[in-house]
Chain A
Amino acid sequence: MTSIAEASPRRLRVSALDEPLPRPALLLAVAGLAWLGAGALVLSWPDVQELERTRLLGALALAFGTLQLAVYAGGWLFAWLARLGRFAPWLIVLAIWLTAWEIVTAKLDLLPLPFFPSPQAFVEVYTDDWRRLGESLLASLLLLFRGFAIGAAVGFVAGVALGWSKRAGYWIHPLMRLVGPLPATAWLPLAFFIFPTSAAASTFLIALATAFPLTVLTWSGVAGVQSAYYDVARTLGANSRFLVLRVAIPAALPHVFVGLFMGLGSSFAVLVVAEMLGVKSGLGWYLQWAQGWAAYANMYGALLVMALMCSALITLLFRVRDRLLAWQKGLVQW
């Protein structure tokens, strides 16, 4: 019975009334002051480089610093605000990094342009080019979603078929062994030639990159299901449809999610390459376009957006997994 109490330690801790309220971390106030200092430096030290968004950058830094001080003050009243104090060390480092970056670029012009743009040039990308960036993000997401959905569906079905049916295995296995290990990008020249549009070609490539890892992992998941699980279901009157849908697939789900994770990773790679080489939209295309104009600030800006997109998608996948595999012990926290 102890195991049940251990399963929900968090709930126990919340109800502990005698525990003192957490005090706001003093470090958060330090972080706020650091950001105020960074803002003051941006505004008061005249730029050497010719830049447009210096005042906006300074204002943003001042506002951010003020916000941190407000959170610190509010932490004396609300416990949930006080808990934000754990970000303080990161915030301090970021303030120092921003200040140093500002000094060596905008203020002293020590780093060569256009390769190392200043922070305000970075800000300028978002204030002046947000529409094009937004459209590129949307285009990338759409293409990725289409390719990933098709690839995941095909890979999942192929994996289950491989693990379950000998006859399906006879046909799918050799194909998968030959085509699967080939990087999807190797198909690029051919795909753009065969498919009517570059969007269709890219969708195919992303689907291909997603399907292979998912097929292999779903297959091994289904093949690895304990035979005792089937015995139990069979003695209870299960037909083979029940065995596949209610026993094999749920038992294989942890493997399936590893496959989806790997498939998503390789679909990112193919997405960017396809957009750089063929598709005339999306973040990969934006990067390529920015490079053509030597607009390095735009490249950094697009890279950050891309990183946030990929990270958000992986986070989403892990959330779904945590929900579906709540029964598993010892899940990795992404």
Chain B
Amino acid sequence: MPNPGWGPLSGLPGNPLMWVLILSELLVFAAFFGVFAWHRANAPQSFLLGQQHLAPLIGGLNTLVLLTSGLAAALAVDASRQPPSARQRRRTRQRLWIAMALGILFCVIKAFEYHLEFFTSPIPNSVTFFTFYIGLTGFHAAHVIFGLCLLAIAAWRPHPHTVETVAAFWHMVDLVWVLLYPLLYLVR
């Protein structure tokens, strides 16, 4: 039992309060997904026009980057669970830095993609779709930036419990993107 004394939350890895945050964030994203599906059903042609303006390959590249960052975070958790030593701390930190570097790369690619979509060609008349697109990807990017701050804290003090807690949040960011990418770019 990783967290004795926390009732139903005691069986989850990392700090139980992080799981309260993760579950609430998943609920918020699920609600947005539902509203998106409803609006798309009511205006499929307008949404299709907006989706055709996006670059699915750039979105896919970002998915590959974020999932690789998730792997680095998971490997950091494994390293942090090894018997304490200077080598173990160094390996944990290295993996957390890799996860951070890939998270930053995700943000850079996203900014480049926004630039391509909104400043280099005329934007199709699909206001509702682009409101969702900016809102959902922007909200997700805010989570990525918050996750990067958490990863920096874990790299600074790589205690196994801290690393597990931060990695749990980072994987939630992964999980949401894995479903957000097809919703916005691919399901047409």
A binds B: no
